[in-house]
Structure 1
Amino acid sequence: MELRQMRYFVGVAEELHFGRAAERLYISTPTLSQQIKQLEREVGTTLLIRHSRGVELTPAGQVFLARARETIQAAGLALKDTRRAAGLDEPVLRLGLLNGVPGWLPAALEQLAADRYPSSTVTLAAGTTVDQVRMLSSGEIDLGLVRTPLTLPVATTSEHLADEELGVLLAATHPLAERTELTLDDLAGLELIWIQRAAAPEFYDDALKRLGDQIRLSDISMSHSQLHSALRVRRGAISLGSCRAATPDVVWRPITGRPLVAKYAAIWRTDSHNPVLRSMTVSPGLTAVRQQVVAD
Protein backbone atom coordinates (compact mmCIF):
# COMPACT_ATOMS: atom_id res chain seq x y z
CA MET A 1 0.00 0.00 0.00
CA GLU A 2 1.39 3.41 -1.00
CA LEU A 3 0.74 6.91 0.30
CA ARG A 4 -0.17 7.86 -3.25
CA GLN A 5 -3.04 5.35 -3.20
CA MET A 6 -4.23 6.71 0.13
CA ARG A 7 -4.27 10.22 -1.30
CA TYR A 8 -6.23 8.96 -4.30
CA PHE A 9 -8.75 7.30 -2.00
CA VAL A 10 -9.16 10.42 0.15
CA GLY A 11 -9.74 12.47 -3.01
CA VAL A 12 -12.53 10.15 -4.18
CA ALA A 13 -14.03 9.92 -0.68
CA GLU A 14 -14.18 13.72 -0.38
CA GLU A 15 -15.54 14.36 -3.88
CA LEU A 16 -17.77 11.25 -3.94
CA HIS A 17 -17.21 11.24 -7.68
CA PHE A 18 -14.40 9.66 -9.70
CA GLY A 19 -14.43 12.30 -12.43
CA ARG A 20 -14.17 15.26 -10.06
CA ALA A 21 -11.57 13.49 -7.95
CA ALA A 22 -9.48 12.66 -11.03
CA GLU A 23 -9.57 16.31 -12.11
CA ARG A 24 -8.54 17.43 -8.63
CA LEU A 25 -5.70 14.88 -8.53
CA TYR A 26 -4.51 15.62 -12.10
CA ILE A 27 -4.81 12.02 -13.28
CA SER A 28 -7.18 10.25 -15.67
CA THR A 29 -10.41 8.73 -14.40
CA PRO A 30 -9.52 5.19 -15.61
CA THR A 31 -6.14 5.39 -13.83
CA LEU A 32 -7.79 6.56 -10.62
CA SER A 33 -10.40 3.79 -10.79
CA GLN A 34 -7.67 1.20 -11.35
CA GLN A 35 -5.67 2.44 -8.36
CA ILE A 36 -8.71 2.29 -6.08
CA LYS A 37 -9.51 -1.25 -7.20
CA GLN A 38 -5.92 -2.26 -6.51
CA LEU A 39 -6.17 -0.68 -3.06
CA GLU A 40 -9.39 -2.56 -2.33
CA ARG A 41 -7.76 -5.84 -3.38
CA GLU A 42 -4.90 -5.22 -0.99
CA VAL A 43 -7.22 -4.24 1.88
CA GLY A 44 -9.39 -7.25 1.13
CA THR A 45 -12.79 -5.57 1.06
CA THR A 46 -14.89 -3.02 -0.82
CA LEU A 47 -14.29 0.55 0.30
CA LEU A 48 -16.51 2.40 -2.18
CA ILE A 49 -19.91 1.62 -3.66
CA ARG A 50 -20.10 2.83 -7.24
CA HIS A 51 -23.40 3.94 -8.80
CA SER A 52 -24.57 6.15 -11.67
CA ARG A 53 -24.56 9.37 -9.60
CA GLY A 54 -21.11 8.85 -8.09
CA VAL A 55 -19.89 6.79 -5.14
CA GLU A 56 -20.55 6.31 -1.44
CA LEU A 57 -18.38 4.94 1.33
CA THR A 58 -18.94 1.54 2.85
CA PRO A 59 -18.55 1.22 6.65
CA ALA A 60 -15.06 -0.15 6.02
CA GLY A 61 -14.39 2.78 3.69
CA GLN A 62 -15.33 5.27 6.40
CA VAL A 63 -12.84 3.68 8.79
CA PHE A 64 -10.14 3.61 6.12
CA LEU A 65 -10.77 7.29 5.29
CA ALA A 66 -10.13 8.36 8.88
CA ARG A 67 -6.96 6.27 9.13
CA ALA A 68 -5.72 7.35 5.70
CA ARG A 69 -6.02 11.01 6.66
CA GLU A 70 -4.07 10.35 9.86
CA THR A 71 -1.35 8.49 7.94
CA ILE A 72 -1.01 11.20 5.29
CA GLN A 73 -0.78 13.88 7.95
CA ALA A 74 1.81 11.90 9.93
CA ALA A 75 3.90 11.36 6.80
CA GLY A 76 3.81 15.07 6.00
CA LEU A 77 4.88 16.00 9.52
CA ALA A 78 7.70 13.42 9.44
CA LEU A 79 9.05 14.91 6.23
CA LYS A 80 8.68 18.47 7.45
CA ASP A 81 10.35 17.85 10.82
CA THR A 82 13.19 15.90 9.23
CA ARG A 83 13.88 18.64 6.68
CA ARG A 84 13.77 21.22 9.45
CA ALA A 85 16.29 19.24 11.54
CA ALA A 86 18.58 19.10 8.52
CA GLY A 87 18.35 22.85 7.95
CA LEU A 88 16.29 22.38 4.79
CA ASP A 89 13.10 23.97 6.03
CA GLU A 90 11.24 25.71 3.22
CA PRO A 91 9.87 29.22 3.85
CA VAL A 92 6.19 28.31 3.74
CA LEU A 93 3.48 29.73 6.01
CA ARG A 94 0.37 27.56 6.32
CA LEU A 95 -2.41 30.03 7.08
CA GLY A 96 -5.78 29.00 8.43
CA LEU A 97 -8.56 30.70 6.48
CA LEU A 98 -11.54 31.27 8.77
CA ASN A 99 -14.94 30.67 7.17
CA GLY A 100 -16.68 34.01 6.61
CA VAL A 101 -13.63 36.16 7.44
CA PRO A 102 -13.32 39.50 5.58
CA GLY A 103 -11.22 38.94 2.47
CA TRP A 104 -8.85 41.80 3.23
CA LEU A 105 -7.68 40.17 6.46
CA PRO A 106 -5.92 37.08 5.03
CA ALA A 107 -4.71 39.29 2.18
CA ALA A 108 -3.06 41.63 4.71
CA LEU A 109 -1.40 38.68 6.46
CA GLU A 110 -0.15 37.31 3.15
CA GLN A 111 1.31 40.72 2.32
CA LEU A 112 2.99 40.89 5.72
CA ALA A 113 4.57 37.49 5.10
CA ALA A 114 5.84 38.67 1.72
CA ASP A 115 7.25 41.88 3.22
CA ARG A 116 8.97 40.18 6.17
CA TYR A 117 10.13 37.05 4.30
CA PRO A 118 10.26 37.84 0.55
CA SER A 119 11.09 34.27 -0.55
CA SER A 120 8.15 32.74 1.36
CA THR A 121 4.88 31.37 0.06
CA VAL A 122 1.51 31.14 1.81
CA THR A 123 -0.82 28.14 1.64
CA LEU A 124 -4.40 28.18 2.93
CA ALA A 125 -6.51 25.71 4.92
CA ALA A 126 -10.15 26.68 5.48
CA GLY A 127 -12.26 25.93 8.54
CA THR A 128 -14.25 27.24 11.50
CA THR A 129 -12.78 28.70 14.69
CA VAL A 130 -12.80 25.25 16.30
CA ASP A 131 -11.16 23.81 13.17
CA GLN A 132 -8.43 26.45 13.34
CA VAL A 133 -7.57 25.53 16.94
CA ARG A 134 -7.53 21.85 16.10
CA MET A 135 -5.36 22.30 13.00
CA LEU A 136 -2.93 24.49 14.91
CA SER A 137 -2.64 21.96 17.73
CA SER A 138 -2.07 19.08 15.30
CA GLY A 139 0.58 20.96 13.33
CA GLU A 140 -1.49 21.32 10.15
CA ILE A 141 -1.24 25.14 10.10
CA ASP A 142 1.24 27.69 11.44
CA LEU A 143 -1.08 30.67 11.89
CA GLY A 144 -4.83 30.57 12.38
CA LEU A 145 -7.65 33.09 12.18
CA VAL A 146 -10.44 32.85 14.77
CA ARG A 147 -13.39 34.68 16.23
CA THR A 148 -13.13 35.65 19.87
CA PRO A 149 -13.81 35.30 22.75
CA LEU A 150 -11.87 32.05 22.75
CA THR A 151 -10.06 30.03 25.41
CA LEU A 152 -6.65 29.18 23.98
CA PRO A 153 -4.87 25.84 24.46
CA VAL A 154 -1.55 25.62 26.29
CA ALA A 155 1.47 27.11 24.44
CA THR A 156 -0.81 29.12 22.14
CA THR A 157 -1.00 32.90 21.94
CA SER A 158 -3.11 35.39 20.01
CA GLU A 159 -3.17 38.89 18.57
CA HIS A 160 -6.38 40.84 18.07
CA LEU A 161 -6.56 42.03 14.46
CA ALA A 162 -9.92 43.53 13.59
CA ASP A 163 -13.50 44.27 14.62
CA GLU A 164 -16.49 44.02 12.33
CA GLU A 165 -20.01 45.17 13.15
CA LEU A 166 -22.68 42.51 13.04
CA GLY A 167 -26.20 43.41 12.08
CA VAL A 168 -29.41 41.70 11.03
CA LEU A 169 -29.73 39.82 7.74
CA LEU A 170 -33.25 39.34 6.44
CA ALA A 171 -35.06 38.72 3.18
CA ALA A 172 -35.72 41.84 1.14
CA THR A 173 -39.44 40.98 1.33
CA HIS A 174 -39.41 40.90 5.16
CA PRO A 175 -41.59 43.65 6.73
CA LEU A 176 -38.59 44.98 8.70
CA ALA A 177 -36.53 45.37 5.53
CA GLU A 178 -38.18 48.75 4.95
CA ARG A 179 -36.42 50.20 8.00
CA THR A 180 -32.87 51.56 7.82
CA GLU A 181 -31.94 50.32 11.31
CA LEU A 182 -33.40 48.00 13.93
CA THR A 183 -33.58 47.73 17.71
CA LEU A 184 -33.66 44.62 19.86
CA ASP A 185 -37.34 45.28 20.53
CA ASP A 186 -37.98 45.06 16.76
CA LEU A 187 -36.50 41.55 16.79
CA ALA A 188 -38.56 40.21 19.71
CA GLY A 189 -40.11 36.85 18.90
CA LEU A 190 -38.48 36.51 15.49
CA GLU A 191 -36.84 33.25 14.47
CA LEU A 192 -33.03 33.53 14.39
CA ILE A 193 -31.20 31.17 12.02
CA TRP A 194 -27.50 31.27 12.71
CA ILE A 195 -24.28 29.31 12.60
CA GLN A 196 -23.77 26.03 14.44
CA ARG A 197 -22.62 26.56 18.01
CA ALA A 198 -19.92 23.90 17.54
CA ALA A 199 -18.15 26.18 15.04
CA ALA A 200 -17.23 28.79 17.70
CA PRO A 201 -18.95 28.08 21.05
CA GLU A 202 -17.68 31.05 23.06
CA PHE A 203 -18.30 33.57 20.28
CA TYR A 204 -21.76 32.06 19.72
CA ASP A 205 -22.73 32.23 23.40
CA ASP A 206 -21.39 35.77 23.79
CA ALA A 207 -23.40 37.06 20.82
CA LEU A 208 -26.64 35.46 21.98
CA LYS A 209 -26.11 36.85 25.48
CA ARG A 210 -25.79 40.34 24.03
CA LEU A 211 -28.97 39.88 22.03
CA GLY A 212 -30.92 38.96 25.14
CA ASP A 213 -33.74 36.45 25.44
CA GLN A 214 -36.24 38.22 23.20
CA ILE A 215 -35.12 36.46 20.03
CA ARG A 216 -36.34 32.93 19.34
CA LEU A 217 -33.45 30.68 18.32
CA SER A 218 -34.32 28.48 15.34
CA ASP A 219 -34.22 24.71 15.49
CA ILE A 220 -31.93 24.74 12.44
CA SER A 221 -28.44 26.13 12.03
CA MET A 222 -26.34 26.78 8.95
CA SER A 223 -22.80 27.50 7.84
CA HIS A 224 -22.00 31.07 6.76
CA SER A 225 -22.36 30.11 3.11
CA GLN A 226 -25.84 28.61 3.65
CA LEU A 227 -27.49 31.42 5.60
CA HIS A 228 -28.69 33.21 2.48
CA SER A 229 -30.44 30.09 1.23
CA ALA A 230 -32.15 29.60 4.59
CA LEU A 231 -33.50 33.15 4.60
CA ARG A 232 -34.89 32.72 1.10
CA VAL A 233 -36.87 29.70 2.31
CA ARG A 234 -37.93 31.01 5.74
CA ARG A 235 -38.68 34.57 4.74
CA GLY A 236 -39.98 35.51 8.19
CA ALA A 237 -36.72 34.56 9.88
CA ILE A 238 -33.59 36.64 10.43
CA SER A 239 -29.88 35.94 10.74
CA LEU A 240 -26.74 37.76 11.87
CA GLY A 241 -23.84 38.90 9.74
CA SER A 242 -21.81 41.80 8.45
CA CYS A 243 -22.81 44.26 5.77
CA ARG A 244 -20.61 42.23 3.38
CA ALA A 245 -23.33 39.59 3.33
CA ALA A 246 -25.96 41.89 1.80
CA THR A 247 -27.33 40.97 -1.64
CA PRO A 248 -30.28 42.25 -3.69
CA ASP A 249 -32.60 39.68 -2.06
CA VAL A 250 -31.03 39.60 1.43
CA VAL A 251 -30.58 42.99 3.12
CA TRP A 252 -28.47 44.05 6.10
CA ARG A 253 -29.66 46.36 8.86
CA PRO A 254 -27.61 47.63 11.87
CA ILE A 255 -28.79 47.11 15.43
CA THR A 256 -29.01 50.38 17.35
CA GLY A 257 -28.51 50.76 21.08
CA ARG A 258 -26.65 47.47 21.53
CA PRO A 259 -24.44 46.82 18.50
CA LEU A 260 -22.81 43.42 18.04
CA VAL A 261 -19.18 43.07 17.04
CA ALA A 262 -17.28 40.15 15.55
CA LYS A 263 -13.69 40.22 16.83
CA TYR A 264 -11.04 38.51 14.70
CA ALA A 265 -7.68 37.36 16.04
CA ALA A 266 -4.61 35.50 14.82
CA ILE A 267 -3.43 32.53 16.88
CA TRP A 268 -0.14 30.63 16.78
CA ARG A 269 1.97 28.24 18.80
CA THR A 270 4.58 29.89 21.02
CA ASP A 271 6.94 26.96 20.40
CA SER A 272 6.73 27.21 16.60
CA HIS A 273 10.03 27.34 14.72
CA ASN A 274 8.50 28.45 11.42
CA PRO A 275 10.80 31.25 10.16
CA VAL A 276 8.03 33.05 8.26
CA LEU A 277 5.78 33.10 11.33
CA ARG A 278 8.60 34.31 13.55
CA SER A 279 9.36 37.18 11.16
CA MET A 280 5.69 38.20 11.19
CA THR A 281 5.38 38.25 14.98
CA VAL A 282 8.40 40.50 15.54
CA SER A 283 7.10 43.95 16.54
CA PRO A 284 5.29 45.75 15.02
CA GLY A 285 4.38 42.81 12.73
CA LEU A 286 0.78 41.76 13.36
CA THR A 287 0.11 44.99 15.22
CA ALA A 288 0.79 46.85 11.98
CA VAL A 289 -1.74 44.62 10.22
CA ARG A 290 -4.33 45.52 12.86
CA GLN A 291 -3.67 49.22 12.39
CA GLN A 292 -3.84 48.88 8.63
CA VAL A 293 -7.12 46.93 8.75
CA VAL A 294 -8.77 49.34 11.19
CA ALA A 295 -7.62 52.29 9.11
CA ASP A 296 -9.05 50.73 5.97
Structure 2
Amino acid sequence: MNLKQLQSFLILSDELHYGRAAARLFITQPSLSQQIKQLESSSKIILFQRKGRRIELTRAGAVLRTHAIKIFQDIKNAENELLLYQYQTRDNISLGVSGSHLVLPIFKLFSAKYPEIALTVKEFSTEQTIKKIGDKVIDFGIVYQCRVPENISATRLFEDEIVAAVPLTHPLARQATLRLEQLAGQPIIILNESLLLRGVIATELEKRHIAPNIICEVDNHYSCLEYAEAQIGIALLTRSLLRSTPAKNVRLMSLQEPTFYQQVILVHGSDLLPDEPVRDLLTQIKDHYGSDTITPEKVWSAQKMRV
Protein backbone atom coordinates (compact mmCIF):
# COMPACT_ATOMS: atom_id res chain seq x y z
CA MET A 1 0.00 0.00 0.00
CA ASN A 2 1.47 3.34 -1.04
CA LEU A 3 0.28 6.94 -1.31
CA LYS A 4 -0.17 6.78 -5.07
CA GLN A 5 -2.47 3.78 -4.74
CA LEU A 6 -4.35 5.42 -1.86
CA GLN A 7 -4.87 8.59 -3.87
CA SER A 8 -6.25 6.61 -6.82
CA PHE A 9 -8.50 4.65 -4.46
CA LEU A 10 -9.79 7.85 -2.84
CA ILE A 11 -10.59 9.54 -6.16
CA LEU A 12 -12.36 6.41 -7.42
CA SER A 13 -14.34 6.16 -4.16
CA ASP A 14 -15.45 9.78 -4.78
CA GLU A 15 -16.48 9.27 -8.39
CA LEU A 16 -17.52 5.57 -8.32
CA HIS A 17 -16.73 5.67 -12.05
CA TYR A 18 -13.43 4.57 -13.59
CA GLY A 19 -13.62 7.00 -16.51
CA ARG A 20 -14.22 10.12 -14.41
CA ALA A 21 -11.69 9.06 -11.75
CA ALA A 22 -9.00 8.38 -14.39
CA ALA A 23 -9.64 11.82 -15.93
CA ARG A 24 -9.17 13.51 -12.53
CA LEU A 25 -5.92 11.58 -12.02
CA PHE A 26 -4.69 12.29 -15.58
CA ILE A 27 -4.12 8.58 -16.22
CA THR A 28 -5.79 5.94 -18.39
CA GLN A 29 -8.59 3.70 -17.16
CA PRO A 30 -6.44 0.54 -17.52
CA SER A 31 -3.72 2.18 -15.42
CA LEU A 32 -6.23 3.10 -12.71
CA SER A 33 -7.72 -0.40 -12.81
CA GLN A 34 -4.25 -1.89 -12.39
CA GLN A 35 -3.49 0.29 -9.35
CA ILE A 36 -6.73 -0.72 -7.64
CA LYS A 37 -6.05 -4.41 -8.35
CA GLN A 38 -2.55 -4.07 -6.87
CA LEU A 39 -4.00 -2.38 -3.78
CA GLU A 40 -6.62 -5.10 -3.34
CA SER A 41 -4.01 -7.81 -3.89
CA SER A 42 -1.53 -6.37 -1.37
CA SER A 43 -4.20 -5.85 1.29
CA LYS A 44 -6.04 -9.12 0.44
CA ILE A 45 -9.43 -7.41 0.52
CA ILE A 46 -12.06 -6.41 -2.04
CA LEU A 47 -12.58 -2.63 -2.10
CA PHE A 48 -15.20 -2.26 -4.85
CA GLN A 49 -17.98 -4.43 -6.13
CA ARG A 50 -19.99 -4.07 -9.34
CA LYS A 51 -23.73 -3.37 -9.24
CA GLY A 52 -24.77 -3.69 -12.84
CA ARG A 53 -22.94 -0.95 -14.73
CA ARG A 54 -22.03 0.84 -11.51
CA ILE A 55 -19.45 0.18 -8.80
CA GLU A 56 -19.88 0.54 -5.05
CA LEU A 57 -17.55 0.54 -2.07
CA THR A 58 -17.53 -2.64 -0.03
CA ARG A 59 -17.67 -2.42 3.75
CA ALA A 60 -13.87 -2.82 3.83
CA GLY A 61 -13.57 -0.12 1.18
CA ALA A 62 -15.61 2.28 3.34
CA VAL A 63 -13.24 1.63 6.27
CA LEU A 64 -10.18 2.27 4.08
CA ARG A 65 -11.75 5.47 2.70
CA THR A 66 -12.13 6.86 6.23
CA HIS A 67 -8.45 6.20 6.97
CA ALA A 68 -7.29 7.47 3.57
CA ILE A 69 -9.07 10.79 4.09
CA LYS A 70 -7.36 11.18 7.47
CA ILE A 71 -3.95 10.23 6.02
CA PHE A 72 -4.11 12.89 3.32
CA GLN A 73 -5.44 15.48 5.80
CA ASP A 74 -2.51 14.70 8.11
CA ILE A 75 -0.10 15.14 5.19
CA LYS A 76 -1.69 18.50 4.35
CA ASN A 77 -1.45 19.62 7.98
CA ALA A 78 2.21 18.59 8.08
CA GLU A 79 2.94 20.55 4.90
CA ASN A 80 1.24 23.66 6.33
CA GLU A 81 3.23 23.47 9.58
CA LEU A 82 6.51 22.91 7.73
CA LEU A 83 5.94 26.10 5.72
CA LEU A 84 7.03 27.96 8.88
CA TYR A 85 10.50 26.46 8.53
CA GLN A 86 11.12 27.09 4.84
CA TYR A 87 14.42 28.80 3.99
CA GLN A 88 15.71 28.50 7.55
CA THR A 89 19.40 27.65 7.70
CA ARG A 90 19.21 26.58 11.34
CA ASP A 91 16.65 25.61 13.96
CA ASN A 92 14.53 28.34 15.47
CA ILE A 93 12.73 28.97 18.75
CA SER A 94 10.24 31.84 18.68
CA LEU A 95 8.97 33.86 21.63
CA GLY A 96 6.30 36.52 21.92
CA VAL A 97 6.92 38.97 24.76
CA SER A 98 5.18 41.95 26.35
CA GLY A 99 8.45 43.87 26.29
CA SER A 100 11.77 42.57 25.00
CA HIS A 101 13.45 43.49 28.29
CA LEU A 102 11.62 40.53 29.87
CA VAL A 103 13.79 38.05 27.97
CA LEU A 104 17.04 40.00 27.44
CA PRO A 105 19.13 38.30 30.18
CA ILE A 106 17.92 34.85 29.16
CA PHE A 107 18.60 35.61 25.49
CA LYS A 108 22.30 36.22 26.25
CA LEU A 109 22.68 32.99 28.23
CA PHE A 110 20.81 30.82 25.72
CA SER A 111 22.61 32.22 22.65
CA ALA A 112 25.98 31.59 24.27
CA LYS A 113 25.06 27.95 24.96
CA TYR A 114 23.26 27.25 21.66
CA PRO A 115 24.86 29.45 18.98
CA GLU A 116 23.37 27.23 16.28
CA ILE A 117 19.78 27.93 17.43
CA ALA A 118 18.07 31.10 16.26
CA LEU A 119 16.14 32.57 19.19
CA THR A 120 13.56 34.91 17.68
CA VAL A 121 11.98 37.44 20.06
CA LYS A 122 9.04 39.55 18.91
CA GLU A 123 7.07 42.11 20.88
CA PHE A 124 3.32 41.58 20.71
CA SER A 125 0.39 42.57 22.85
CA THR A 126 -0.59 39.93 25.39
CA GLU A 127 -3.69 39.07 23.34
CA GLN A 128 -1.63 38.68 20.15
CA THR A 129 0.89 36.41 21.88
CA ILE A 130 -1.85 34.11 23.20
CA LYS A 131 -3.44 33.88 19.74
CA LYS A 132 -0.13 33.18 17.99
CA ILE A 133 0.66 30.39 20.45
CA GLY A 134 -2.76 28.87 19.83
CA ASP A 135 -2.16 29.11 16.08
CA LYS A 136 1.32 27.56 16.55
CA VAL A 137 3.02 30.57 14.97
CA ILE A 138 5.28 30.99 18.02
CA ASP A 139 6.48 28.47 20.60
CA PHE A 140 5.75 30.31 23.84
CA GLY A 141 5.59 33.75 25.40
CA ILE A 142 6.21 35.91 28.44
CA VAL A 143 3.24 38.19 29.06
CA TYR A 144 1.32 39.96 31.79
CA GLN A 145 -1.45 38.20 33.70
CA CYS A 146 -4.47 37.52 31.53
CA ARG A 147 -7.26 35.04 30.91
CA VAL A 148 -5.99 32.10 28.87
CA PRO A 149 -7.97 29.51 26.86
CA GLU A 150 -8.04 25.83 27.77
CA ASN A 151 -5.38 24.89 25.21
CA ILE A 152 -2.80 27.26 26.75
CA SER A 153 -0.76 26.53 29.89
CA ALA A 154 0.25 29.48 32.07
CA THR A 155 2.88 29.60 34.81
CA ARG A 156 3.55 32.49 37.15
CA LEU A 157 7.04 33.99 37.01
CA PHE A 158 7.15 37.14 39.15
CA GLU A 159 5.24 40.27 40.12
CA ASP A 160 6.09 43.46 38.23
CA GLU A 161 5.16 47.02 39.19
CA ILE A 162 3.94 49.92 37.07
CA VAL A 163 5.89 52.98 38.19
CA ALA A 164 6.24 56.62 37.21
CA ALA A 165 9.55 57.78 35.69
CA VAL A 166 9.55 61.45 36.64
CA PRO A 167 12.05 63.78 34.93
CA LEU A 168 14.49 65.30 37.41
CA THR A 169 13.51 68.77 36.16
CA HIS A 170 9.86 68.17 37.11
CA PRO A 171 8.65 69.55 40.49
CA LEU A 172 7.11 66.18 41.44
CA ALA A 173 10.59 64.60 41.38
CA ARG A 174 11.45 66.52 44.56
CA GLN A 175 8.59 64.97 46.55
CA ALA A 176 9.11 62.05 48.92
CA THR A 177 6.08 60.15 47.58
CA LEU A 178 3.76 60.30 44.60
CA ARG A 179 -0.01 59.77 44.52
CA LEU A 180 -1.98 58.84 41.44
CA GLU A 181 -4.15 61.95 41.79
CA GLN A 182 -1.07 64.12 41.32
CA LEU A 183 -0.81 62.95 37.70
CA ALA A 184 -3.99 64.87 36.78
CA GLY A 185 -3.14 67.42 34.10
CA GLN A 186 0.52 66.35 33.96
CA PRO A 187 2.19 65.52 30.62
CA ILE A 188 2.11 61.72 30.42
CA ILE A 189 3.99 59.27 28.17
CA ILE A 190 2.18 55.96 28.06
CA LEU A 191 1.96 52.64 26.16
CA ASN A 192 -0.54 52.45 23.30
CA GLU A 193 -4.10 51.21 23.75
CA SER A 194 -3.49 47.74 22.29
CA LEU A 195 -1.29 46.74 25.25
CA LEU A 196 -2.67 45.15 28.42
CA LEU A 197 -0.84 47.45 30.86
CA ARG A 198 -2.37 50.50 29.20
CA GLY A 199 -5.78 49.09 30.06
CA VAL A 200 -4.76 48.55 33.68
CA ILE A 201 -3.60 52.17 33.96
CA ALA A 202 -6.63 53.60 32.14
CA THR A 203 -9.08 51.66 34.33
CA GLU A 204 -7.50 52.94 37.55
CA LEU A 205 -7.45 56.53 36.30
CA GLU A 206 -11.11 56.36 35.27
CA LYS A 207 -12.14 54.92 38.66
CA ARG A 208 -10.59 57.96 40.33
CA HIS A 209 -11.90 60.45 37.73
CA ILE A 210 -8.37 61.48 36.86
CA ALA A 211 -7.91 63.04 33.42
CA PRO A 212 -4.27 62.62 32.37
CA ASN A 213 -2.72 64.86 29.73
CA ILE A 214 -1.39 62.14 27.42
CA ILE A 215 1.14 63.79 25.13
CA CYS A 216 2.68 60.66 23.67
CA GLU A 217 1.61 57.03 23.11
CA VAL A 218 4.39 54.56 22.27
CA ASP A 219 4.65 50.89 21.31
CA ASN A 220 7.26 49.73 23.84
CA HIS A 221 8.69 50.31 27.30
CA TYR A 222 12.08 51.51 26.07
CA SER A 223 10.50 54.43 24.21
CA CYS A 224 8.53 55.38 27.33
CA LEU A 225 11.77 55.65 29.27
CA GLU A 226 13.59 57.57 26.52
CA TYR A 227 10.89 60.25 26.40
CA ALA A 228 11.00 60.69 30.17
CA GLU A 229 14.81 60.85 30.13
CA ALA A 230 14.52 63.62 27.54
CA GLN A 231 12.53 65.58 30.18
CA ILE A 232 9.43 65.63 27.96
CA GLY A 233 6.96 64.20 30.47
CA ILE A 234 6.22 61.57 33.11
CA ALA A 235 6.37 58.03 31.77
CA LEU A 236 4.34 55.16 33.18
CA LEU A 237 6.31 51.94 32.68
CA THR A 238 7.33 48.72 34.43
CA ARG A 239 10.03 48.44 37.06
CA SER A 240 11.41 45.29 35.42
CA LEU A 241 12.66 47.41 32.50
CA LEU A 242 15.24 49.04 34.75
CA ARG A 243 17.11 45.79 35.40
CA SER A 244 18.54 45.84 31.89
CA THR A 245 18.27 49.58 31.20
CA PRO A 246 19.44 51.84 34.06
CA ALA A 247 17.46 55.08 34.14
CA LYS A 248 19.15 58.44 33.55
CA ASN A 249 17.86 61.88 34.54
CA VAL A 250 14.62 60.49 35.97
CA ARG A 251 13.39 59.43 39.37
CA LEU A 252 11.40 56.20 39.60
CA MET A 253 8.45 56.64 41.92
CA SER A 254 5.96 54.03 43.10
CA LEU A 255 2.29 55.00 42.90
CA GLN A 256 1.32 52.57 45.71
CA GLU A 257 -1.69 51.16 43.84
CA PRO A 258 -2.43 47.43 44.35
CA THR A 259 -3.64 47.09 40.75
CA PHE A 260 -0.30 48.46 39.55
CA TYR A 261 1.38 45.21 40.62
CA GLN A 262 0.94 42.76 37.76
CA GLN A 263 1.91 39.09 37.56
CA VAL A 264 4.20 38.14 34.67
CA ILE A 265 3.44 34.68 33.31
CA LEU A 266 5.01 32.15 30.97
CA VAL A 267 2.54 30.77 28.41
CA HIS A 268 2.75 27.94 25.89
CA GLY A 269 0.50 25.39 24.21
CA SER A 270 -0.68 22.59 26.49
CA ASP A 271 0.49 20.11 23.85
CA LEU A 272 4.04 21.50 23.67
CA LEU A 273 6.59 18.66 23.35
CA PRO A 274 9.88 20.45 24.03
CA ASP A 275 13.20 19.13 22.76
CA GLU A 276 16.42 19.67 24.71
CA PRO A 277 17.07 23.33 23.67
CA VAL A 278 13.47 24.34 24.47
CA ARG A 279 13.58 22.52 27.84
CA ASP A 280 16.87 24.26 28.60
CA LEU A 281 15.43 27.65 27.67
CA LEU A 282 12.38 27.09 29.90
CA THR A 283 14.71 26.11 32.76
CA GLN A 284 16.80 29.26 32.25
CA ILE A 285 13.65 31.39 32.43
CA LYS A 286 12.54 29.64 35.63
CA ASP A 287 15.95 29.97 37.24
CA HIS A 288 16.29 33.62 36.29
CA TYR A 289 12.93 34.72 37.65
CA GLY A 290 13.00 32.26 40.52
CA SER A 291 15.87 34.26 41.99
CA ASP A 292 14.34 37.65 41.18
CA THR A 293 15.13 40.24 43.86
CA ILE A 294 13.34 43.37 42.64
CA THR A 295 9.76 42.31 43.30
CA PRO A 296 7.86 41.79 46.55
CA GLU A 297 6.39 38.44 45.55
CA LYS A 298 8.03 35.56 43.69
CA VAL A 299 5.83 32.63 42.77
CA TRP A 300 6.79 29.61 40.69
CA SER A 301 3.90 27.26 40.02
CA ALA A 302 3.61 24.54 37.39
CA GLN A 303 -0.17 24.51 37.50
CA LYS A 304 -2.48 26.14 34.98
CA MET A 305 -3.62 29.57 36.04
CA ARG A 306 -7.16 30.76 35.50
CA VAL A 307 -7.88 34.41 36.22
What TM-score results when the alignment is normalised by the length of structure 2? 0.53
> Gaps spanning 5+ residues in structure 1: where?
1-73, 83-89
The Cα of 1:124 is off from its aligned counterpart by 2.2
Partner Cα distance (2:95, 2:257) in 1: 36
Partner Cα distance (1:151, 1:266) in 2: 13
Partner Cα distance (1:256, 1:144) in 2: 28
Counterpart in the other structure of 1:94: 94
The Cα of 1:259 is off from its aligned counterpart by 7.1
Give the 3 Å change call, closer, same or farther, for CA 256–146 of structure 1 in structure 2: closer
Counterpart in the other structure of 2:218: 222
- Conserved 8 A contact 1:143-1:277: no
Counterpart in the other structure of 2:142: 145
- Conserved 8 A contact 1:184-1:255: yes
- Count how many residue pairs are aligned between Structure 1 and Structure 2: 207
What secondary structure is seen at the aligned counterpart in 2 of 1:213?
coil
Partner Cα distance (1:124, 1:159) in 2: 21
Counterpart in the other structure of 2:82: 78
Counterpart in the other structure of 1:204: 198
**CA displacement 1:9-46 (0-9 Å, x = unmatched):** xxxxxxxxxxxxxxxxxxxxxxxxxxxxxxxxxxxxxx
Counterpart in the other structure of 2:54: none
Partner Cα distance (1:155, 1:185) in 2: 41
Partner Cα distance (2:93, 2:277) in 1: 7
Read off the aligned partner of 2:201 and give its amino acid letter.
A
Partner Cα distance (1:109, 1:161) in 2: 18
Paired residues for 1:1-296 under 5 Å: 77-78=81-82, 93-103=93-103, 106-107=106-107, 110=110, 121=117, 123-128=119-124, 129-148=126-145, 150-200=146-196, 203-211=197-205, 212-216=208-212, 218=214, 220-223=216-219, 224-231=221-228, 235=232, 237-243=233-239, 244=242, 247-256=247-256, 260-276=260-276, 279=279, 290-293=289-292
- Conserved 8 A contact 2:106-2:285: no
Larger Rg: 2
Partner Cα distance (1:246, 1:279) in 2: 31
The Cα of 1:181 is off from its aligned counterpart by 2.6
Which deviates further from its counterpart, 239-248 or 160-169?
239-248
- Conserved 8 A contact 1:93-1:274: no
The Cα of 1:205 is off from its aligned counterpart by 2.3
Read off the aligned partner of 1:77 and give its amino acid letter.
E
- Conserved 8 A contact 2:168-2:231: no
The Cα of 1:289 is off from its aligned counterpart by 5.3
What TM-score results when the alignment is normalised by the length of structure 1? 0.54
